[in-house]
Amino acid sequence: MRRQLPIIIVFVSGLFIFLQYFIPHDAGVFFYEYGLDWIIVIGVFAMLLGIWSLFRVQLDKVIKRSPGWGYSVVALAGLFFMLISGPIWGIEEGTPFMKVFWYIYTPIQATMFSLLAFYVASAAYRAFRARTVLATILLMTALVIMLRLIPLGPISGPNQWLATWILMVPSMAANRAILIGIGLGAVATCLKIMLGIERTYLGHD
């Protein structure tokens, strides 16, 4: 019963959320919004679990002196500082919490995305080498799209008809196919979870 009860709760909750889209009623809307509030509460507990997991993993690295354990010390120091500084000094502009956010976290985030640009350029170079017919088509399409974004007079700009056609017809068709596939995959996953076929969220016995 310890494993059957969560499956029953998931099935009933999923079935209710599914039916309320097709049976409009004030009571259904109320319980739906009430359920969304519970999702926020569960998310808070999930966040606490994530913080505890981060603490345990980084602390184990420090205790065992694993390679790169100095970074774990920095991670733990940052974690405790942000947890303590927020309640003490608040999160308004000019507080230590926001100073760390704007002057440490934001530059680190920008640096990470900047480094990703080199990996993207490397992957694009490998993909755009015209060794096959498909690679040649990909290369020519990329050149047309780039010319649309580079100010080179009449062969570029938003009125460049070929680039507009590529974005509105083949690219849009591929995007819709991907979205349809994602939707079907999400529906299949939801059904597997509701019917108890997918039980990884229950953990191990």
Residue 89 lies in a domain: no
Residue 164 lies in a domain: no
Q: Which amino acid is at 138?
A: L
Residue 171 CA to residue 28 CA, distance in Å, equals: 39
Taking Cα atoms as reference points, which of 11, 17, 15 lies closest to residue 34? 17
Residue 121: per-residue pLDDT: 78
Burial class (CB in 10 A: 0-12, 13-18, 19+), 72: buried
Residue 189: per-residue pLDDT: 92
Residue 127 lies in a domain: no
> What single DSSP character describes residue 103?
I
Residue 32 lies in a domain: yes
Q: How many domains does the chain have?
A: 1
Residue 83 lies in a domain: no
Residue 24: per-residue pLDDT: 76
* 198 pLDDT higher than 60: yes
* Parent domain of 28: 1-66
Residue 58 lies in a domain: yes
Residue 131 lies in a domain: no
11 contact partners, CB below 8 Å, separation of at least 6: 194, 195, 196
Question: Which tens digits make up the pLDDT trace of 32-48?
Answer: 888 888 889 989 999 99
Residue 5 lies in a domain: yes
* 185 pLDDT higher than 90: yes
Residue 194: per-residue pLDDT: 87
Least confident of 27-41, 53-67, 182-196: 27-41
Q: What integer best gives the mean pLDDT of the chain?
A: 85
Question: Which tens digits make up the pLDDT trace of 80-132?
Answer: 999 999 999 999 998 999 999 999 999 999 999 888 878 887 887 777 776 78
